[in-house]
Amino acid sequence: HRDLHSFPTRRSSDLPSFRQGVALNDFSVLSRDNFFIYGMIGLSRQHDMGAVRRWMGELHWHQVPPDLLPIRIWVDRETQDWRDLEAVEAAGRKNLLVEGNGTASGAAVFEHNRPHFALAHAELGDFAGAEALIAPTAADHDEAVRVRALIAQLEGQYARADWWFARSERQTPSIPFTDALWGEALLKRGQPDAAIEKFKL
């Protein structure tokens, strides 16, 4: 259960295993939704939107259903649909969202996904809103630390961004998300050689 939440599918070839999980009957700890949702999230985080679209096609979806919050957030991030992420935030504030593994109050949903909402505000140029959203998050919250770096990057505060990237790298050295994001940031600053070193990691 913990592994599904922490390290959803590492590669597209894991999809058959998740499909087998979807085919199982519900049981006490995991349900079909867990396998389905984290399979979709994993494919999104592997940038395999083709596989996401194929699975959606099999389900006859034209878009991710609004109530499947975990999938919707990661698809929005991968497709850079920042407006939809803002819509998710607005709905969460109204206690309208349901988490994939059971109901949750709007407040709990909002707090859990605060970094994603903050990034959406920053990408849309609302830096004050982004900083206000990210400020209450814990300093050792992995996703929040990465988003703090991305917000600083978008604001053009490169030294501050690098400080947060470095902090994230120290906290979770075995997870490659920070190095990938830092490399992308360095590319945007016109530093391809430095970016390549991060991408090698």
pLDDT tens digit string along 116-175? 999 999 999 999 999 999 999 998 899 999 999 999 999 999 999 999 999 999 999 888
Q: What are phi and psi of 113, to 5 degrees?
A: -105, 15
| Among 110, 115, 85, CA closest to 177 | 115
Residue 142 has a pLDDT of 92
- pLDDT at residue 31 greater than cutoff 70: no
> 132: how many CB neighbours lie within 10 A of its CB?
12
**Per-residue pLDDT at 100:** 46
pTM of the model: 0.80
Question: How high is the pLDDT of residue 168?
Answer: 96
Q: For the residues 19-24, what does the mean pLDDT come to? A: 65
